[in-house]
Amino acid sequence: MFGRSKRAKIVTPTSNPGAYRFGNQRLIELRTVTKAYETAAGPFVALKHIDLEVDRGEFVAVVGKSGSGKSTLINMITGIDRPSSGEVLIGDTAVHTLSEGQMAVWRGRHVGVIFQFFQLLPTLTVLENVMLPMDFCNTYPARERPERAMALLEEVDMVDHADKLPSATSGGQQQRVAIARALANDPAMIVADEPTGNLDSRTAEAVFSLFGRLVDEGKTVLMVTHDDDLAHRVSRTVTIADGLIVSDTGHGSATMPQPVAEQMAV
Amino acid sequence: MLRDLRDQKARTLLVVLSIAVGVFAVGMIAGTRQILTHQLNTSYQSINPAHALLGVNGFDSDLLAAVQRMPEVESATARFSLRTRASLGPGRWLDFTIFALPDWENIPINIVRSESGPWPPPRDAVVVERTSLPMLKSAIGDTLSLELPDGRLRDVSVVGTAHDINLPPARFTNQGYGYATFDTLERWGFPKQYTSLSITVADPQGRNDQEYIQSVADLVKDKVESSGRVVTFTYVPEPGKHPADEVLAPVFLLLGVLGLLSLFLSAFLVINTIAAIMAQQVRQIGVMKTIGARFGQLVTLYLGMVLVFGLLALLIAIPAGLAGAYGFTSFLATFLNFDVVYEGIPVPAVGLQVLVGLLIPMIAALLPIRNGARVTIREAISSYGLGKGRFGQGSFDRLLVNSQRVLPWLSRPLMISLRNTFRRKGRLALTMVTLTLGGAIFVAVLSVRASLYQTVDDAVRNNNFHIIIGIDRDVRTEALQEAALQTPGVIAAESWGRASARRQRPDAPADSTADNSLPSLPSRNGQADSQVSTQPGMPGGESDEIRINAPPAGSKMVNPQMVAGRWLLPEDENALVVNTNFMDAEKDVRLGDTITLKINDKESDWVIVGVMEGVLDQATAYANYDYFSRLMGRTGRANGLRVLTNSEDPAVHVRVAAALEQKFKEDGYTVTQLSTRAENLEGTEYQFGILVNLLMVMTLLMALVGGLGLMGTMSINVIERTREIGVMRAIGAATRSIMQIITVEGILIGLISWIQATILAYPLSRLLSDQVGLAFTDAPLSFAFSVQGIVIWLAIVTIVAALASYLPARNASRLTVREVLAYE
C-alpha cells in the first residue's frame, strides 16, 4: 500500500550504544520512574518505580488495560509529562530536567509524536502540516522544506493530497500525514499513542506496516496499543498493569532477527 | 453552574468586566446628568436669580426704590460695573470688571457669597470672584495694579474671595471679576450710581412664564425711561434655568449616545463570550439532555448564569459609576463655577444601571444560549480532535489557503495566525464591530477637535490683523497709523470705524420705547458686554445688537469669505456686507434689501450688497469707513486701530501690543482697549478644549471596550484551540512560536478593524462635526478630517491588540502538553 518508498532519503544516525552523556547505554532509559497525581480522592500513583531500557531500532508495543499507566509511561518518554521521581534519559538528554519550552524544542527535534486522533492543524494544508515541525525547529533550510515534506508525503503515499486541507481527507489518510509530520525532523524515535485506535482494520494494517519500515530504517518505535494482534507482531511487548511493568517479552534483542516489515507481512 | 463560574475565574472576570464597562458608562453619564442638573439648579435657585435684567446708563437709589415699589415687582436690586485692566506684569493685562453693590449684607437677587476675607471689602481693596484669582496670578494679601478707563493706575489689595454662580469661570471669558465698595470707587472719581437693574416678578404664577416676565420687564423699562434714563438692553433668561443648561443639553445628548454605544458594544462582548461558553459546555449539555434535561430547563439554567454575571458586573459598575458620576460632575462643575456636594446615591441612575446590567446581557445571551441548548445528544458527545470552526468550507477560506502561493515568504506560523483570524467569522465580526466603532469614534472625536480648531482658524482668517488697540478720544487717522507704524514689529495699521447698531424692523414704530422684541443679551450681570446672542429675532421692533465695522476701502485686514453678493467697493456709500450670523438673526432680510439701522440714536438706511461667512462671530455688518465716519460726524478721525505684525507668533503679538501701548502713552493717549488675536481666542479654545476632553473620556472608554472585546475573543480562541496548541507543542513549537501565533492573530484583527475604522471614520467625523457645530455654535463647524487621528488609532489598536492577545498567549504558552492534550 505504501509502495514506491524512497527510504534512502530518510537519514538515520547509526546506533552508538554506551556513548551517551549520562552514562546510559541505550537510547531510552527510565530509571526508577514514579509518577503520582493529586486527585480529589487523594494521591494516585500511575507509575511505580519503573525501569525500562529501549535501544535504537527496537519496535516496542506498550500494552495494558485502560488506566494501567501505559499512556503515562509514553508521556514520560516524550517529555509530555515529567516524573515525580526518577530519571528519564533519552540519548544525551536528561528529559526530566528540561523546562516546558526546552522540552518542546527537544521533542520537535528528537521525537516524532503520533496521536490517536491524528491532530493535524485544520487551517494548514497537508503539505503545510508536514512542513510545520521543520518551521518550528528550524532544522532544514526554508527552501528545502517543501521538497522534504513532499518526499515524506510520497513515503506515505499522500502526495496527491498535498494541497488539501485535512478535513478533505479520510481518517486513514490523516494518520498517514501525521506519520509524515512525525518524521519531518528525522527523529531517532517515533512515539505513537494508539495510532490505529481510530482506523478501520485495513488502514490500521497499512499504518502498522509503515512503522515496520521505519524500524527497518533504524528508527525506534514505541507504540501504545490495545490491539493484541499488533502487539504480538512487534519485536518487544511491554505490558503494564497498575503502574508496574508486569511483563517485557522480547527484551534483549537489540536488533530484529529479520526485517520487521517482512516479518509482519503475514 | 456556580462552581463553573468559580472554577473559570479568568473567563468569569472577562464577561463580568465586559458587562461592567458598558453599565459603568451608562451609570456615569446618567448619574452625572442627574447630579449636575439637580445640584446646578439647586445652587442656582439658592442665589434667587433675577427674572429680568436691564442695562441702564446710570441711575441712583431713588429710581431703584421706585422700581422696588412697583406692584408687579417682588424685589429689585442694582449694581455698578466698572471695566478696568489688571496688570499681570510688564505689558500684560487682564480685563477686570469691578462690581459695586448697594447693600452688601442683604443682596435680594443674584446673591454673591463671600468665601474668604472681609465682606464688604475695605476701602482700596477688592474681593475677587474665586475663579479669577488664578487668572490674576495673585493671592490674598497681594496688591493689584488696576488701570481705570481713563488710563489712571490705582493699587488695590486683594483681601478675599467671593462666589458668584452667575459669573462664568474667568478662564472662559478670559477676564477677571471683583467687588469693591462705592467708597473705593468714589475715591477714584466715580459717582455713586448703578448701571444694571435686576428684578424678580411678584406674581407667583408668572415666575415661570417668560412672556409674563418680559411684560413686567417692559413696564420697568418704561418706568426707567420715563425718568430720563436710557435702557441699553433688557434680558429675560429662561425662567428657573441656569444659563449653562442650554449648553449642557447637547453635551449630555452626545455623551448619552456614546454611553449607549458602549453598552451596545458590551452586549456584543457578552454574545461572544456566552457563545464560547456554550461551545465549551456542549458535552455537558449532551450529558444533561441524556439524563432528561429539557430545552427550556437548559435555557433557564444558562440564563441564570448570565444573571449571575450581570449581578457581579453590577457590583463593579454601580460603585464605579457612582464615583465616576461624582468625579465627572465635579470636573464639569469647575467649568460652571459651582460646588458639588455628596447627596447620596442618584437612585434613578443606579436603577437604570440595574435594569441594563441585568437585562441587556440576558437579551444578548438569548441567541447563543438558544443555539447551544439546541445541540443534539449525538452532536454533543461525538466531537473530538482538532478542527473547531469549520475552516475551509467557504470561498474566502479557500482564498486564504491559496494565499500561500501568492505569499510564499509567509512562514507557516504566520499563516496559521492569518487563517485562524478568519476561523470563527461570527465572533470575528462582533469583535470587529466593537473595535471598528471604537476606532471610528476615536478618529471622529479627533476630527471634531481638528474641526473646532479649523473653525477658529477660519474665524481668524476673516480678520487679517493681530492686535486691536483703542484710545480714549478721536484722533486723525493718519496720526494714529503713523504712531503705530513707528513701533517695531508693526507692518500695517488701519483705523476702523466701530459702532453698535440695532435694526429697526419694518413694522416697528420709530420710537424704540415701544419695543416689544425679545431681548437676548447673554451677559448675566448687566456688564456692558458686546456679545449678543443669535437667537432668531421676531419681526417687528428692534433687533438684538449688531456690531458695525467700518474698514477703509480696500482694507487688507479683512478677508471675507463671501457666501452671496460682493464685498464693498471703494465707491460704495450706504452699502453693507453682513455676516451669516446677521442673516440667521434677521431671517426676513434678503440680499439687496434696504434695512434701517439705529446707530447712536440716529436712524439710517443701508443696502445689503453681500453676505460673508461669519465664523464664531456675532451679528456683524461691514460698511465703508469714509461714508460711515461722515455719517457719524467723525470724518478722518478714529479712536482705534487694527494692527498687523510681522509674525504669527502670539508671544510676538503680546510684545508688540505692549510696545504699542507704551508708544501711545508717550504720545499722550490713554489706551482703553488692547487685545491680541490669541487672547481673544483663548476663551473659545478653552471651551472647545473642555468639549474635546469630555469626548476623549468617552472615546477611551470605547477603546477599553474594544480592547476587552479583543482580549475576550483571543481568550476564547485560545481556550478553543488549547488542543491545537498542545499539538504544536508536541511537534516542537517553542514558547516564542506559540506566543507569536496568537499575538499576530490579535494584531491582525486589530489591523483589519483599523482599516474598517478608517473607512467609517470619515462620514462619522463629518456627522459629529456638523452636530457639535450646530449644538454649540449654531452652525456646522469648518470640517477638518484628522489624519493624525488615524495614525494615532493605528498605534493604539496595535498596542491594544498586542496587549489583549499577550495574556491569552502567555497563558497558552504556559500550558503543559499533558494538560492541553487532557483538555476537554
Residue A238, phi then psi, degrees to nearest 5? -105, 120
User: Rounded to a whole number, what is the distance in Å from the CA of B751 to chain A's nearest CA?
Assistant: 21
Please give the interface size between A and B, counted as residue pairs whose CB atoms are below 8 Å apart: 111
* HSE-up (13 A, CA, CB side) for residue B771: 15
pLDDT for the residue numbered B273: 79
Cβ-based neighbours of B106, under 8 Å, separated by 6 or more: none
- Which candidate in A76, A102, A107, A121 is best for mutational testing of the B interface (most B CBs within 10 A)? A121
* Among the ranges given (B111-125, B374-388, B433-447, B577-591), the one the predictor scored with the smallest mean pLDDT: B374-388
User: Rounded to a whole number, what is the distance in Å from the CA of B731 to chain A's nearest CA?
Assistant: 5
**How many angstroms from the chain centroid is the CA of residue B98?**
29
pLDDT for the residue numbered B755: 94
Question: Do A121 and B727 make contact, defined as CB atoms within 8 angstroms?
Answer: yes
pLDDT for the residue numbered B7: 67
Select the residue of A115, A122, A131 nearest B391 (Cβ to Cβ): A122
Question: Do B731 and A120 make contact, defined as CB atoms within 8 angstroms?
Answer: no
Residues in chain A where the model's pLDDT stays below 50? 1-15, 17, 253-266
Residues in chain A closer than 8 A to B3 (CB atoms):
none
How far apart CA B230 and CA B405 sit, in angstroms, is: 88
Q: Is B403 left (phi over 0), alpha (psi -120 to 50) or beta?
A: alpha
pLDDT of residue B765 exceeding 60 = yes
- The answer to whether A107 touches A79, Cβ cutoff 8 Å, is yes
- The answer to whether B488 touches B659, Cβ cutoff 8 Å, is yes
Nearest CA in chain A to B421: A123
Residues in chain A closer than 8 A to B404 (CB atoms):
125, 128
Residues in chain A closer than 8 A to B813 (CB atoms):
101
Q: Specify which residues B492 forms β-bridges with.
A: B644
Q: Is B411 exposed, middle or buried (0-12, 13-18, 19+ CB in 10 A)?
A: middle
Residue pLDDT, tens place only, A132-147: 889 888 889 988 999 9
Q: Specify which residues B144 forms β-bridges with.
A: B156
The radius of gyration of chain A from alpha carbons, rounded to an integer in Å, stands at: 18
Residues in chain A closer than 8 A to B730 (CB atoms):
78, 80, 104, 107, 113, 115, 119
Return the sign of the alpha-carbon dihedral for residues B222, B227, B232, B234: negative
Residue in B704, B703, B17, B5 with CA at minimum distance from that of residue B316: B17
- Which candidate in A95, A109, A123, A145 is best for mutational testing of the B interface (most B CBs within 10 A)? A123
DSSP state of B558: B
Residue B698 three-state SS: helix
pLDDT of residue B752 exceeding 70 = yes
User: Rounded to a whole number, what is the distance in Å from the CA of B258 to chain A's nearest CA?
Assistant: 38
pLDDT for the residue numbered B821: 62
Query: What does the DSSP assignment read for B15-37?
Result: HHHHHHHHHHHHHHHHHHHHHHH
* HSE-up (13 A, CA, CB side) for residue B690: 19
* Among the ranges given (A71-75, B256-260, B661-665, B816-820), the one the predictor scored with the smallest mean pLDDT: B816-820
Mean pLDDT for B273-302 is 81
pLDDT for the residue numbered B820: 59
Q: What percent of chain B has pLDDT over 90?
A: 24
Residue pLDDT, tens place only, B567-626: 999 999 899 999 988 988 888 899 999 999 988 778 899 999 999 988 777 889 999 998
Residues in chain A closer than 8 A to B724 (CB atoms):
119, 121-122
C-alpha cell at B152: 489712571
Residues in chain B closer than 8 A to A109 (CB atoms):
732
pLDDT for the residue numbered A78: 87
Select the residue of A107, A131, A165 nearest B401 (Cβ to Cβ): A165
Q: Specify which residues A239 forms β-bridges with.
A: A63, A247
Task: Tell me what the pLDDT averaged over chain B comes to.
Answer: 82
Domain A56-74+99-237+247-264 sits in which CATH superfamily? P-loop containing nucleotide triphosphate hydrolases (3.40.50.300)
pLDDT higher for B252 or A29? Answer: A29
Residues in chain B closer than 8 A to A163 (CB atoms):
401
Count of residues making up chain B: 824
Count of residues making up chain A: 266
Cβ-based neighbours of B816, under 8 Å, separated by 6 or more: A80, A81, A100
pLDDT of residue B169 exceeding 70 = yes
b/e code B470-491 from CB counts within 10 Å (16+ = b): bbeebbebeebbebbeebebbe
- The answer to whether B29 touches B252, Cβ cutoff 8 Å, is yes
pLDDT of residue B471 exceeding 90 = no
pLDDT for the residue numbered B519: 32
Mean pLDDT for B277-287 is 78
- The answer to whether B722 touches B823, Cβ cutoff 8 Å, is yes
Task: Give a three-class secondary structure readout of chain A.
Answer: CCCCCCHHHCCCCCCCCCCCCCCCCCCEEEEEEEEEEEECCEEEEEEEEEEEEECCCCEEEEEECCCCCHHHHHHHHHCCCCCCEEEEEECCEEHHHCCHHHHHHHHHHHEEEECCCCCCCCCCCHHHHHHHHHHHHCCCCHHHHHHHHHHHHHHCCCHHHCCCCHHHCCHHHHHHHHHHHHCCCCCCEEEEECCCCCCCHHHHHHHHHHHHHHHHCCCEEEEECCCHHHHHCCCEEEEEECCEEEEEECCCCCCCCCCHHHHHCC
Question: Do B392 and A75 make contact, defined as CB atoms within 8 angstroms?
Answer: no
Q: Measured in Å, how far apart are chain A's first and last C-alpha atoms?
A: 14
DSSP state of B512: G
Residue with cell 534483542: A253
- Cα torsion through A157, A164, A148, B410, rounded to 10: 180
Q: What is the ipTM of this complex?
A: 0.74
How far apart CA A240 and CA A247 sit, in angstroms, is: 7
Residue pLDDT, tens place only, B319-369: 999 999 999 888 888 878 888 888 888 899 999 999 999 998 899 888 888
**How many angstroms from the chain centroid is the CA of residue B312?**
34
Q: Is A4 left (phi over 0), alpha (psi -120 to 50) or beta?
A: left
Residue pLDDT, tens place only, B480-514: 888 889 888 999 999 888 888 888 877 644 443 33
pLDDT of residue B528 exceeding 50 = no
pLDDT of residue B556 exceeding 80 = yes
